[in-house]
Each structure stands twice: as structure tokens, then as C-alpha cells.
Structure 1
Amino acid sequence: MKFVVVVALTALLGYAAPLYFTWWSFAVTSFVIALLIHQKALAAFLATFLGLFLLWAVMALIIDGANDHLLSQKIATLLPLGGSSFLLIFVTAFTGGLVSGFAGLTGSFVRRPAD
């Protein structure tokens, strides 16, 4: 149950925080969530990764669909992605998920008592 709560909180705060702070503030929220809701390191990484991965994938799909995939196809042509807008969205979501996952992992490690 904690896993689902962390995924939902990560997505919710990952959406809300950049509205008021800088774009990378989602990493701080992922750190704080993992710090406050204790999980093992792997579970904290996966939950925060998944929360932000899903958020950024959905947001990128919505934005990309609004302009008929024009910009993403041009960017995917510049990058070695073969012009695939969906592969560009995956890379974008994966990058955000990694940042969030490592922030959550750090929060999990900070909470762990010293041995």
C-alpha cells in the first residue's frame, strides 16, 4: 500500500511543485516523500521512478498530441531516434524518472539509521 501512495504522491507533487518553483523541484519532492514514507531502497527508487515516469509520459503525450506530433518528430529526427515521437517521449519520461528515482533512493538512504 505504501508503494501506491508514494507513486501517487510523487506524481501529484511532481506536477504541482514546478508550477511554483523551478522545473527540477520534483526531485526535492521525491526526496522528501521517500524521507517521510519509509520504504526499502529498491522500493523507494521504483516508486518515485514510476510516479514521475508516468506523469511525464502522460504530460508529454498530451502536449505532443496537441500539435499533431510536429515538434517531437523534428526533434526525434535531430536525435538518433529515427523520427519516432513516441521514442522521444519515452526517453523524456525515462530521464525524469531516473532523476526522481535517484532522489527517492537518496531520501531512503538518509532515513536509514547508521550501522
Structure 2
Amino acid sequence: MLFILILILTLISGFITPWWAIAIICFVMALYAGKKPAQAFWSGFGAVFIVWTVLALVKSIPNDHLLAARMATVFNLPHWTLLLFVVSLVGGLVGGMSALSGFLVRRIVIK
């Protein structure tokens, strides 16, 4: 449930809001529907990782990954797919940590 909520809201907001809106979405959704700390973290991490991978591919495929390949060379990465993985990993960590924070705030408020 939490994974699906974060996935849908992050995907919708990915086209409209700035990148940091994922932290607010993950925090609020884990505050609302979080059951366990590990579930909150992995739901936030997995949903944001998948959404950022999809959004990056949607924006990169039409130009044959030209910008992604150039950015990969700036960061001394051998291929653009590794850049895609690093970007998605960073987004996933932001989502996971904010979802975990939302769950922990919920635990404090409920007690």
C-alpha cells in the first residue's frame, strides 16, 4: 500500500514539481500509512528509485542519450547507464530516508 502510494504520487509530481518534492511525499505517506521502519524505508527507496529511472529514461531516450552520455564523461563514468543508476540511487536514498523519518515521527506522535 505504502509503496504504491509513493510510486503513484512521485510519478505524477515528477513532471510538475521540483526534485525535492519526493522527500515531502515520502515523509507524508509514511506518516500516514507506515507500519514498520524497514517497510517505510524500502517502500520509499524502491518507489523513488523506479520512478526516477523511468523519468530519466523518458527524458533521455528521445535525444538518444546524448546529454546523459556527456554528463557521464563529466563525472568520469564509462557509460550513461551507470549515471542513470547513480542518479536513481541518490533519489532512492532521499526517498527512503524521508519515508523512514516520516515513520519515526509517527511513532513519536502516537506514543
TM-score, L = length of structure 2: 0.89
Gaps of 5+ in 2: none
* Match in the other structure for 2:82: 87
C-alpha deviation, 1:60, in angstroms? 0.8
What is aligned with 2:59? Answer: 63
2:38 corresponds in structure 1 to: 42
Aligned length, in residue pairs: 110
Classify 1:70/1:20 alpha carbon distance in 2 versus 1 (closer, same or farther; 3 Å).
closer
Two-structure CA RMSD over aligned residues (Å): 1.7
Partner residue, 2:72:
76
Moved more, 25-34 or 7-16: 7-16
SS of 2:34's equivalent? Answer: coil
How far apart, in 1, do the equivalents of 2:59 and 2:100 lie? 29
Percent identity over the alignment? 36
Q: State the TM-score, normalizing by the size of structure 1.
A: 0.86
5+ long unaligned stretches in structure 1: none
Contact 1:53 1:93 (8 Å CA) reproduced: yes
Q: Does 1:101 align with 2:81?
A: no
Q: Provide the C-alpha distance between the structure 1 equivalents of 2:63 and 2:87, rounded to a whole number of angstroms.
A: 17
Closer, same or farther in 2 for the Cα pair 1:35/1:13, shift >3 Å? same
Deviation >3 Å, runs of 4+: 17-22
Structure of greater relative contact order (alpha carbons < 8 Å, 6+ residues apart)? 2
Residue 104 of structure 1: how far off its partner (Å): 0.2
Deviates more, 1:32-41 or 1:19-28: 19-28
Distance across 2 between alignment mates of 1:55 and 1:29: 13
* Alpha-carbon offset, residue 16 of structure 1: 2.6
